[in-house]
């Protein structure tokens, strides 16, 4: 059992903590889900919209765990929320919430975790520019699913759902926050790698 692992052949940050086993992997996956659930409840006031911690947690989990474990952590997050645990933003849950305007972003979390995890396995997170770009790419992946889903949902609600209205509702207000999150990743992840490498 201890020789079986979900870790990729190219180590990511979490692999520097020591044991690589299926038990450790399952623990990391659950921890990533818990971190995302906690971050979803955090809101920082900022004009014109608040910055929430959820997206940052998603990208951090994907980067730290790698593509497979990061994706499984997000699948678990979405599944638990769908089954009724109040772990989505503002304590929301259920299939109806996923079917609503923000459901596409939740699905995008899984894909974003795969992408940033894959980049981390290629050491993008070990340099400032690489970590910054990786988080921006992850955000684009989330929007690529979230915005079309939002457009459909707005139409079903009888609200304007043309491109301009969709971008105004689901993209433009969040750009400053996304840039700040990417900048934080660019500052923190390479520093964390340096500290970890010094202790090994």
Q: Is the pLDDT reported for residue 163 higher than 90?
A: yes
Q: Is the pLDDT reported for residue 50 higher than 80?
A: no
Q: Is the pLDDT reported for residue 2 higher than 50?
A: no
Nearest alpha-carbon partner for 64 in 189, 182, 180, 186: 189
* CATH pick for 13-199 out of 3.40.50.670, 3.40.50.150, 2.40.440.10, 1.10.1760.20: 1.10.1760.20
Q: What is the pLDDT of residue 125?
A: 96
Q: Is the pLDDT reported for residue 17 higher than 90?
A: no
> What is the H or E stretch that residue 51 is in?
strand 51-52
Nearest alpha-carbon partner for 150 in 111, 116, 106, 86: 106
44 has which bridge partners? 51
Q: Could you read off the pLDDT of 86-123 as tens digits, one per residue?
A: 999 889 899 999 998 889 999 999 999 999 999 999 99
Regarding pTM above 0.75, the answer is yes
Stretch 138-144: mean pLDDT: 97
């Amino acid at each position: 059992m201890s020789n079986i692992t979900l870790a990729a052949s190219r180590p990511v940050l979490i692999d520097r903590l020591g044991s690589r086993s299926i038990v450790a992997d399952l623990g990391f996956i659950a921890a990533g889900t818990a971190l995302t659930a906690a971050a979803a409840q955090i809101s920082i006031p900022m004009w014109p919209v608040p910055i929430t911690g959820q997206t940052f947690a998603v990208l951090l989990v994907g980067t730290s765990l790698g593509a497979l474990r990061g994706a499984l952590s997000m699948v678990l997050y979405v599944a638990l929320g769908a089954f009724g645990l109040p772990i989505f933003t503002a304590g929301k849950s259920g299939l109806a919430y996923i079917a609503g305007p923000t459901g596409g972003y939740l699905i995008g979390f899984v894909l974003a975790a795969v992408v940033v995890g894959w980049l981390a396995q290629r050491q993008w997170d070990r340099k400032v520019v690489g970590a910054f770009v990786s988080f921006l790419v992850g955000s684009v992946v989330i929007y690529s699913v979230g915005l079309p889903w939002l457009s459909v949902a707005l139409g079903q609600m009888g609200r304007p759902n043309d491109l301009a209205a969709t971008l105004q509702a689901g993209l433009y207000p969040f750009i400053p926050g996304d840039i700040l999150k990417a900048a934080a990743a660019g500052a923190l992840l390479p520093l964390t790698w340096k500290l970890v490498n010094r202790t090994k």
